[in-house]
């Protein structure tokens, strides 16, 4: 298909990119190793889905119990900021996917560029989140017993904000962890670790990053749009 496929066995790997990469002895081939790693990451993503699943379940139960209170409370979230963050996160998913593509093509410069843009998007997301949180703190829109917002008809707005802070907080933590992983990929890329022969870490960090995006794709409409 592409050039690397025709490279003869035994050629020094330095000339093929990813000089430090060797197929581990217990793997049949580079493909087997690559697929095994990716399947492991998919299994990990399943545990992530179940972690967030518990929170989504909590949201579903309490929304159904205190429907009016939830609808009232959700109007205090900033749709514009949430929407902007959605666009930022989708943009970062694109650049992450393009970073993987560049790594697949042994385009080190482009990989670096795309990873840096992804990091900047992630940072933008957290900065917007910071402004949103500060506004909530200012107006006493705090979780559970700490809630002292004024002008609420219902008595369960605190439950909504408890769930809001828990869900966006756990998601924000994932964004932070994702930023750490992307920085790690950036360092390894600058070191010249990746090429079309070996880009599994970039792809797998990419999968994690897309999952963080997936969770937000559900969080945003549930919390900000329909309450």
Q: Which residues bind other proteins (CB under 8 A)?
A: 1-2, 4-5, 7, 9-10, 16, 23, 28-31, 33-35, 38-39, 42-43, 45-46, 49-50, 53-54, 56-57, 60-61, 64-65, 79, 83, 86-87, 90-91, 93-94, 96-98, 101, 104-105, 196-199, 203, 206-207, 210-211, 213-214, 217-218, 220-222, 224-226
User: How far is 90 from 22, CA to CA, in rounded Å?
Assistant: 34
Q: Which helix (H) or strand (E) holds 193?
A: none
Task: Quote the least distance from Cβ 82 to other proteins, whole Å.
Answer: 9
Closest to other proteins by CB, 79 vs 148, is 79
Task: Give the residue with the Cβ less far from other proteins, 7 or 187.
Answer: 7
Two tokens, residue 11: 């050629």
Beta-carbon contacts of 161 under 8 Å, excluding residues fewer than 6 positions away, are: 73, 136, 141, 142, 143, 144, 147, 149
Task: Indicate the residue among 32 and 137 with the shorter CB distance to other proteins.
Answer: 32
CB of 73 to other proteins, least distance (A): 15
Greatest distance between any 2 Cα atoms in the chain: 75
Shortest CA distance to 159 belongs to which of 69, 227, 94? 69
């Amino acid at each position: 298909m592409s050039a690397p496929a025709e490279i003869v066995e035994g050629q020094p790997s330095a000339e093929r990119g990813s000089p430090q990469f060797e197929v581990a002895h217990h793997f049949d081939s580079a493909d087997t190793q690559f697929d095994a790693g990716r399947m492991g990451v998919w299994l990990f993503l399943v545990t992530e889905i179940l972690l967030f699943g518990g929170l989504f379940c909590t949201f579903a139960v309490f929304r159904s119990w205190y429907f009016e209170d939830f609808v009232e409370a959700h109007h205090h979230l900033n749709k514009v900021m949430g929407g902007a963050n959605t666009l930022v996160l989708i943009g970062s998913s694109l650049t992450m996917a393009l970073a993987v593509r560049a790594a697949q093509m042994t385009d080190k410069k482009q990989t670096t560029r795309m990873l840096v843009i992804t990091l900047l998007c992630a940072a933008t997301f957290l900065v917007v989140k910071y402004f949103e949180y500060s506004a909530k703190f200012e107006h006493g829109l705090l979780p559970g017993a700490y809630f002292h917002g004024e002008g609420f008809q219902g008595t369960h707005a605190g439950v909504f904000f408890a769930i809001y802070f828990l869900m966006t907080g756990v998601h924000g933590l994932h964004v932070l962890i994702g930023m750490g992983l992307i920085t790690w990929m950036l360092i390894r890329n600058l070191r010249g670790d990746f090429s079309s022969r070996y880009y599994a870490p970039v792809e797998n960090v990419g999968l994690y990053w897309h999952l963080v995006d997936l969770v937000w794709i559900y969080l945003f409409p549930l919390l900000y749009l329909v309450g």
